[in-house]
Structure 1
Amino acid sequence: MTDTLFLTSDDVTGLATPAEYVAAVREGYRQRGEGAPAHPRQKFLRSDPGGMMTSYAALLPDTGAMGGYMYSAGFGAGDAWFMTPLFDAESGEPLALLDGASMNPFKTGAAGAVGVDALAREDAETLAVVGSGAQARGQVLATATVREFTDVRVYSQTRENRESFATEFDDRLEATVAAVDSSEAAVSGADVVITATTASEPVFDGDALDPGTHVTAMGQYHPGKRELDTTTIERATYVPDLRERVTYDAGSFLAALEDGVVTEDHVHAELGEVVADVEPGRTSDDEITVFDSGGTGIETVAAAYLLYERALEEDVGSTISFSPASEALTGRE
């Protein structure tokens, strides 16, 4: 038997800062760029009752951890449930089991911030956010740790939501944060654009992007849905989280591929390859760059291990016991 740490969403809330999440996730992507294994999510769908079960994993040898996410959404409960198992990368023993719901916006936001840090101009000052939910909040909190923004504009379809978002973040950030009435008003003149929506169709016109803009798109991972139009993909140096995901569920890229405006060679590099300096990132101030973030086990394992270490330091959580196969698989009744 081995004791494994169990962490609830309440346990992990506040254990790490946005900057700490970003540092951990950046290190995870560096390892991926140097060959650490990770694969795109697998999705299992059911129509009656409607729902989806999803899983993905990664092994980060330098961190010393491996694991991933398994979560369900919909089905009879009509809700979502996130489980994050974490294992020791050398012994294989289970280290922790986390309720991954509350860390989700932070670890996903950290991946977006790593993309911004790797691809956006160093002098980026204006941030446009399309979306105002939990994921948009996570993106802004993390991205504000890698660039000194002076002006943040937020647009979402519901006026009350975008105005509430602007009020909240105007108090939390040093930048001036304002709600605007259209995605075009947000995107025009922006140095960095973040899309964090549930939209199935493009949320802005790619012709509205100024030269030198960086775009992080993280709201869709479905072959038939997209936040970015074909113009944005065609104009941009395109960097996904995982190259293998591009023809699997990166809807924006697949649409551009189907329209014939790009080929598969349009993929510049994976984010990890840029972080690890295996491939270059931005090469000019006029270049438009895109980070297509669909979610991977890389940021999940990196963030989960960070929280595991913090929980041990703070004496947070409880323990559950697991039996190794050598003990449990005895065949005895």
Structure 2
Amino acid sequence: MLHVTEAEVRNLLSFSKAIGLAREAYTRLAKGEALNPQRVTLTVSGGASMFFMPAHILGQRTVSVKIARVNPENPALSLPTVMSDIFVYDSRSGVLLAEIAGESLTTIRTAASSAVATDFLARRDVECLGLFGAGRQAEAHVHAIQQVRDISRVVVYSREKKRLEAFAKQISQDCEVETLPADSPEKVVKESDLLVTATTSHTPLFKGELVKNGAHVNAIGAAQPDAREVGTSLVKRSTLIVDSREQAISTYGDIVIPIRERAIDPTHIRAELGELLVGKSSISHSTNDITLFKSGGLAVLDAMAADYIVSRIERKSL
């Protein structure tokens, strides 16, 4: 059995490749050529919340199950808040083929997913990328979005002020793009044509009324019914695209809460991203319309990337 480390994942899975894999995963799912059951959640009182996420792409050799664990108390024990592993099985025999460390794979495929949405939905002439968050996901999103848009500037805001300055300097160097720390959420929103929210916030990060006409927003941080990064006003005024309707209306607080408030209903979701990619759905919007892509992560993205990684390692060993 293979044991694939975080470093090996980063070495094997480039952002350009991950974007292609994410696009294929969404396409195959929309065509009915992939199995992506609803995630199973188990919450232990006083302990971790655990998420079990199986998926299979028809015709591929493998079936994958990601097990993610979340515990906000872990940092006090010098442990990560979120931990995950992906177990890869032979789809015929059921034999366990590999255990893949999940943090880097999840980070890369999430940013790749947003890049696919950005490529389809965002204007071609976007210049300024606004980031909320200064962690690994925010960093990965700069790398991924640079694959699909020629951004000239990044503006970033984080509540962790000490981290913010260092993050901006690091992105400037690593991504070779001017990156400036912002002293308020409002500054980020007012300056940006393209926004990414990649935080652990449970409440809206900014006033939706401030978002520029014609902007595109990728909201990826909140994936629980009681948590959201964007407010009802932004959801209402946006052309709303999701990774999964079923998951969105049951799990994503950015959408669950406005539905609960009766500000929108489920039909406000215009399409799933995969439906747009294969032409099952279409949207007509002007250059002044705001587009919002809300995602919480689909197991089929993990399965596609995991199958690729295992195949590459096996080819190298021949």
Q: Same fold (TM over 0.5)?
A: yes
Moved more, 6-15 or 152-161: 6-15
Q: Where in structure 2 are the equivalents of 1:45-64 lying within 5 Å?
A: 45-48=43-46, 50-61=47-58, 63-64=60-61
Cα distance change of structure 1 residues 185 and 311 upon mapping to structure 2, 3 Å threshold: same
State which of 202, 220, 223 in structure 2 corresponds to 1:221. Answer: 223
Deviation at 1:163, TM superposition (A): 1.4
Counterpart residue number, 2:28: 31
Tell me, which stretches of 5 or more residues in structure 2 are unaligned?
none
Counterpart residue number, 1:116: 118
Give the 3-state SS of the residue equivalent to 1:43 in structure 2. strand
Q: Where in structure 2 are the equivalents of 1:189-228 lying within 5 Å?
A: 189-228=191-230
Counterpart residue number, 1:136: 138
Q: In 2, distance between residues paired with 1:121 and 1:89?
A: 40
Counterpart residue number, 1:20: 17
Q: In 2, distance between residues paired with 1:55 and 1:140?
A: 28
Aligned amino acid, residue 34 of structure 1: K
Quick one: higher RCO (CA 8 Å, sep 6+), 1 or 2? 1
State which of 241, 263, 266 in structure 2 corresponds to 1:264. Answer: 266
CA contact (8 A) 1:18 1:141 kept: yes
Moved more, 94-103 or 124-133: 94-103
Deviation at 1:17, TM superposition (A): 1.3
CA contact (8 A) 2:54 2:64 kept: yes
Cα distance change of structure 1 residues 113 and 68 upon mapping to structure 2, 3 Å threshold: farther
Deviations 1:123-161 (A, max 9, x none): 222110000011111222212111110111111012221
Aligned residues: 312
Q: Say what the alpha-carbon RMSD is for the aligned residues.
A: 2.1
Moved more, 180-189 or 60-69: 60-69
Aligned amino acid, residue 277 of structure 1: G
Deviation at 1:81, TM superposition (A): 3.5
> What fraction of aligned residue pairs are identical, expressed as a percent?
29
CA contact (8 A) 1:150 1:174 kept: no
Counterpart residue number, 1:326: none
State which of 57, 68, 71 in structure 1 corresponds to 2:68. Answer: 71
**Structure 2 length as normaliser, TM-score?**
0.91
Which one has a larger percent helix, Structure 1 or Structure 2? 2
CA contact (8 A) 2:65 2:86 kept: yes
Cα distance change of structure 1 residues 26 and 92 upon mapping to structure 2, 3 Å threshold: farther
Q: Where in structure 2 are the equivalents of 1:307-326 lying within 5 Å?
A: 307-315=309-317
Moved more, 195-204 or 302-311: 302-311
Tell me, which stretches of 5 or more residues in structure 1 are unaligned?
317-333
Structure number with greater Rg is 1
1:241 and 2:259 matched = no
Moved more, 107-116 or 91-100: 91-100
State which of 82, 85, 89 in structure 1 corresponds to 2:84. Answer: 82
Deviations 1:240-265 (A, max 9, x none): 11111122111011111122221111
**Structure 1 length as normaliser, TM-score?**
0.87
